[in-house]
Amino acid sequence: MGSDTTFASAAAALYHTYFTGLILTVASRRSGGDAAEWVFRVFRHQHHEKFLSSFDKLGLTGMPHAVACAAYHYLSNAVGGVDVEFMRESDTKAWVRFVPPRWIYPGAAICGVPTEVSRAMLRGWYAHNGVSLGNPRLGFVCTAQTVDGQHGLAGYFLEHARDLAPEERLQFRPGELPPPFDPTRAPKLPEAQWPADRLARANRNYAMEYVRSGLPRLVELFGPADAAHLGRVTGLLVGAQCYRQTADTLGVKAETAVAFGDWMTRLAAAEGDAAESETRGEAVHVTRRSWRLMRGIANVSPAVFEAWNGLIEGALAVHDRFLVLEVLRRLDYGDDAFEWRIRSRAPHDRR
């Protein structure tokens, strides 16, 4: 078996791809406008959950607001493995630039992302920084967007000389170029507080947090039935596409029901959950006693599990298409664990 760091990287890659897939699924199967509204809600929710609470962890307390905001996005995204630049012009103006290839839109996925989705991220988070800091003069000016064919996603936090109206908190001025990036002048994470194993977990958590925030917002916006469908079809596709890579990282080689049970338990461990697998007769039962992804969220809609479980269904379809995955118990239904049964299809089903 691999190290905790290796396992965490498997979960990070799977959830990263799942979130990108959700953006593309909503944009292609509903509309760009629906995708933008969903992304706005995801990023605004994450802003409220993470922004102010992370200031001390990242060593930003006491900085001028514009500089602290740019430093926040530089450091918090670097923890997630995202390539970002930071340029401080003054106490009231500081730049960030997300450098291609964009983490959130890997490979050709960026070709399917509408402009309004990128703008929605900025509206959801960047435009609200001044509000959360209690500084009505602070806004964000976007000068470039990768999805528009420019040099990256770039812009600057600016503390204006007057209070801003709500519609002025996010402005677009395409064409302004950010100054050169000098890594020696960029903020640094406190090394003693961020050893390699913590960074690996933070990278995993960074990817998982998008799904943790995203699936409940999918239910809120589109209702349980549509959210379950959108999330599950994305899970089926992503689980299938990522299975071989994930299995290699988790050290799963065989193509048996027992091996897939190992894949499920090791993936659970990669996510920070406890799970076990055992053979009962001709079937394999996998029991997972915690769900870190949704830990602490009250009244999780059953649609969230239906969406998320699509990842496992999609993976099994590649592992062995003649195996069936059945759900026997569910934590979100009040049971003491999730329990799945993996068994062979009945002979008459093999048409």
Residue range 232-243, pLDDT digits in tens: 999 999 999 999
Q: Does residue 72 form part of some domain?
A: yes
Q: How far is CA 282 from the centre of its chain?
A: 37
Q: What pLDDT score was predicted for residue 1? A: 47
Going by pLDDT thresholds of 50, 70 and 90, the confidence category of residue 59 is confident
Q: Does residue 203 form part of some domain?
A: no
Q: Does residue 276 form part of some domain?
A: no
Q: Is the pLDDT of residue 321 over 90?
A: yes
Q: Does residue 224 form part of some domain?
A: no
Number of structural domains found in the chain:
1
Question: pLDDT tens for residues 16-51?
Answer: 999 999 999 999 999 999 999 999 999 999 999 999
| Spatial CB neighbours of 164, under 8 Å, sequence gap ≥ 6 | 130, 136, 137, 138, 139
Q: Is the pLDDT of residue 350 over 80?
A: no
Query: Measured between alpha carbons, how far is residue 286 from residues 1, 60, 325 in Å?
Result: 18, 44, 10
Going by pLDDT thresholds of 50, 70 and 90, the confidence category of residue 2 is low
Q: What pLDDT score was predicted for residue 5? A: 84
Q: Does residue 231 form part of some domain?
A: no
Helix (H, G, I), strand (E, B) or coil at 235: helix
Q: Does residue 173 form part of some domain?
A: yes
Q: Does residue 93 form part of some domain?
A: yes
Question: pLDDT tens for residues 324-337?
Answer: 999 999 999 999 99
Q: Does residue 349 form part of some domain?
A: no
Distance separating the N- and C-terminal Cα atoms of the chain: 37
Q: Is the pLDDT of residue 301 over 50?
A: yes
Q: What pLDDT score was predicted for residue 3? A: 66
* Three-state SS sequence of 272-303: CCCEEEEEECCEEEEEECCCHHHCCCCCCCHH
**Cβ atoms 138, 159 nearer than 8 A:** yes
Going by pLDDT thresholds of 50, 70 and 90, the confidence category of residue 347 is confident
Which comes out higher in pLDDT, residue 69 or 200? 69
Query: Measured between alpha carbons, how far is residue 269 from residues 151, 230, 250 in Å?
Result: 39, 26, 10
Beta-bridge partner residues of 62: none
Going by pLDDT thresholds of 50, 70 and 90, the confidence category of residue 351 is low
Going by pLDDT thresholds of 50, 70 and 90, the confidence category of residue 191 is confident
Tokens 């677009």, residue located: 172
The residue-averaged pLDDT of 55-80 equals: 92
- Which CATH number covers residue 94? 3.30.1380
Q: Is the pLDDT of residue 199 over 60?
A: yes
Q: Is the pLDDT of residue 139 over 80?
A: yes
Beta-bridge partner residues of 2: none
Q: Is the pLDDT of residue 269 over 90?
A: yes
Domain extent at residue 92: 4-193
Q: What percent of the chain has pLDDT over 70?
A: 98
Q: Is the pLDDT of residue 106 over 70?
A: yes
Q: How many of the other CB atoms lie within 10 Å of CB of 61?
A: 9
**Cβ atoms 210, 293 nearer than 8 A:** no
- How much of the chain is helix, strand and coil, in % rounded to 5? 55, 15, 30
Cα separation, 307 vs 314, in Å, equals: 11
